[in-house]
Amino acid sequence: MKQGRCLLSFSFGALALVLFANPGQVFASDGVISAEPIEQYQSIAPGNKVGDLIWRGGLVLEGPEVFGGVSGIDFLDDKRFVMVTDQGQFISGVLKSRNNGRPKGLENVQISPLQNSRGAPLPENYTRDAESIVTIFRGGSPAAVRVSFENLTRVADFDLTNGRPVGAARKVAIPDWLSTLRTNESLESVCIAPPDSPISGSTLLIPENVENEKGNHSAWLLGRRDVGALSLSVASGFKPTDCAFLPDGDLLVLERGFSFLGFKMQVRRIKAENVAPGSLMEGEVILSGFGGDIDNMEGLAVRTGKDGSTRMVIVSDDNFNDWQRTLLLEFELPT
């Protein structure tokens, strides 16, 4: 049974929002994001097990016209988040939780345009298609975010100030076989290995639909020591849409597909030692979903809860369609 919506206000203040029709035009506004609790996943109530995971709850998020198209998410700490959208926007704020650990809603939300290297809003639709985001930590503190783009395929870094992405894009060098891609199935996933990983600090890039000579998904590692090609085994009917590392160095890969019921998705866990140059990344499916439980699931993040638990957060891209939803689903991983 559905509960009443939690209405959480956000203020843009002096924040500039790019109008879709004219990227040079800016305005300031105020509005409300509504968060409707999701009561069940696979007919299971929050706090109970879904396979080996614990379903912690979810939200259906709605807001003004500029809110939507969420394709990537990451966390700066246990509650502060940053998202990117395929219309070239950052969405940042705080994920609030109830006393029982269930997601409650979003607070202190700000929406701002991603900028190009000159500090101007991205001018064309094909340049704005941000697909994944990961936090760069320096000295244990969040210092910047790294964003991957498709269509005009590239990777760029943006500074963080008070938990908000700011300033001009700084280009990150990637291999030519990636940078020359010009499709909407190119660079969907970017994630950075944590300190306990064998490849600590290296950036993993996984395109959505680029196969190598053996028929596996091509991937690439950027790092000072761990640099080079690797691959992800193909899961029939699925393509990768995001990745995130667990604190112990294991890798989670979110994959999306389509069925007669609509969208389907799964998350695979890959052992840390299998994420290395020259490796074929294979792993076990730890979560699956289809039908009304999900939507177009594109973003994946890992956060450490206030209670020390490891949480997996998955978000959906509604493509700014009335018949799709922006969902946020949260699961706890066993320790």
Domain ranges of the chain: 23-333
64: its two tokens: 């003004």
**pTM (two decimals):** 0.91
Question: Phi and psi of 272, rounded to 5°?
Answer: -55, -40
Bridge partners (DSSP) listed for residue 315:
299, 328
- pLDDT (average), residues 147-153: 96
CB 78 within 8 A of CB 94: no
Q: Does domain 23-333 have CATH number 2.115.10?
A: yes
pLDDT tens profile 90-105: 999 999 999 888 999 9
Alpha helices in the chain (DSSP H): 176-179
Confidence at residue 224, expressed as pLDDT on a 0 to 100 scale? 82
- pLDDT (average), residues 50-76: 95
Identify the residue with better confidence: 224 or 327.
327
- pLDDT (average), residues 110-132: 94
Helices (H) and strands (E) counted in the chain, each on its own, are: 1, 26
Identify the residue with better confidence: 5 or 193.
193
User: Does residue 187 register a pLDDT over 60?
Assistant: yes
List Cβ neighbours of 264 (8 Å cut-off, separation of 6 or more). Answer: 237, 238, 256, 257, 258, 288, 289, 290, 294
Q: What percent of the chain has pLDDT over 70?
A: 90
pLDDT tens profile 274-320: 999 999 999 999 999 999 999 999 999 999 998 899 999 999 999 99
Average confidence score pLDDT of the chain? 90
pLDDT tens profile 3-39: 344 444 444 333 333 333 333 332 223 446 899 999 9
